[in-house]
Amino acid sequence: MIIEKKDRILFVGDSITDSNRNYEAIPAGWSSWGDGYVNLINAYTTALLPREELMIVNRGISGDTILDLKKRWQVDVLDFKPDWLTIMIGVNDVWRHFDGTFAQTLLVSLERFESELQTLIERTLPYVKGIILLSPFMVEQNEKDPVREMLSGYQQVIQTLAETFGLPYGNVQEKIDDFLRHQSSYVLSSDRVHPSLAGHVLIAKTWLETTGILEGKDADNR
């Protein structure tokens, strides 16, 4: 397990991380975790690792792209001084290419995404014990689906950056794909992006395995 006693563990991302959290709650206070995978991770570590006294903090914001993360990075990440940072971002950067055209939304190219994420990693690494990268995902079995096909490029960027910087990488898409070999996508998501509680369990399990808290995978790069 790479997590140590009294570590401050911060999660940043979009609506999947946000998951209806209370923005007014104190960090790690009641209702601050939302109702998704961060809440599940907090429940697991609180109940089963009571001696570790881990502080789980959710700073996901619905709708965020990598550019939105960049704008709030100093306040929401660096000023908080976490021991470990988990980042899951990218699905909105892709999704806006398909649903944001009529609103003339600023679109994030693959190259811009890579550059911005690398900069945030480089900016943060000197101040934390480590950064955990989780892949964005789609609950879509067809790898030739246009959105899924574009997303695969962003997923590859994240995995490559994890390898480059020696960061733990959790492949959530792999967990989703394993599920879809047996059951319908509608069990995990009604819109292929926002997960059901079962979908959040898969994300939480990925994180717990990636950190070595759960057996199943070592806490190294993938």
Break the chain into its structural domains and give their ranges.
8-210
- For 209, the token pair is 């395995």
Tell me the whole-structure pTM to 2 decimals.
0.93
Task: For the chain, list the strands marked E by DSSP.
Answer: 8-13, 55-58, 84-88, 130-134, 169-170
Q: Is the pLDDT of residue 200 over 50?
A: yes
- Residue 117's Cβ-side half-sphere holds a number of Cα atoms within 13 Å equal to 33
pLDDT digits (tens, 9 = 90+) for 6-41: 999 999 999 999 999 999 999 999 999 999 999 999
- 191 part of the active site: yes
Of residues 145, 191, 218, 220, which has the active-site annotation?
Answer: 191
Q: Is-contact 124 81, C-beta < 8 A?
A: no
Q: Output the pLDDT for position 211.
A: 96
For domain 8-210, is the CATH number 3.40.50.720? Answer: no
pLDDT digits (tens, 9 = 90+) for 133-147: 999 999 999 999 999
- 194 part of the active site: yes
Of residues 14, 18, 189, 194, which has the active-site annotation?
Answer: 194
CB atoms within 10 A of CB 187: 14
- For 83, the token pair is 């021991």
Q: Output the pLDDT for position 216.
A: 58
- 15 part of the active site: yes
Q: Output the pLDDT for position 100.
A: 78
Of residues 15, 19, 135, 185, which has the active-site annotation?
Answer: 15
Q: Output the pLDDT for position 222.
A: 34
